[in-house]
Structure 1
């Protein structure tokens, strides 16, 4: 028996596995886009909590694009939130020049709050 056969009726290749011919199926090749920290966090979330959604994205070949888009949205939202909160609370370059430790403490606090907002709004929803 041949290892591979082609069925002209349906246009599929089949591979011999033991006593059976199984179709040679591949996921569609999607363009690979970089996925950063936020996208990786969201990937773990949907793998654990939204399995059907994850499998639909995976089998349709749209997973990488989806995660890349989430990552870009989260990154833009993070920088925008940090900037807006810093302006609202008066954390400026003047404070940075006058009292570096206070500026670092306040910026770390602002960044933590921005991360929490993004996690609640985008990543874990």
Structure 2
């Protein structure tokens, strides 16, 4: 009198696509975490910065990202994951442009802050 467990439904191709896109976006998020410190020697010379100023760039990114993670959870619940994820990717792109075109330290700080906001939705609470 044993009965076989029902078979699991086949994965939906839409689900697979979402998982792949989120995985790629999340990878870009972690790439950004790792790309800035190796650029420190170049940024130090190009912008005449101290190591404290360079460290502040990373601090701004992580503090804004950390605070934003709690808020991102509420935002995802309110408007849905797709608009939030697309907005985050857009903010990452904007932050990359700001960082690339920045003539000075203030622009680098702005780019780090924008990237922190964009990164927040990848780890919502």
Please give the TM-score of this superposition, normalised by the length of structure 2: 0.34
Larger radius of gyration: 1
Which structure dedicates a bigger proportion of its chain to helix?
2
Please give the TM-score of this superposition, normalised by the length of structure 1: 0.34
Which structure dedicates a bigger proportion of its chain to strand?
1
Comparing both chains, which one has the higher relative contact order based on Cα–Cα distances under 8 Å and sequence gaps of 6 or more? 2
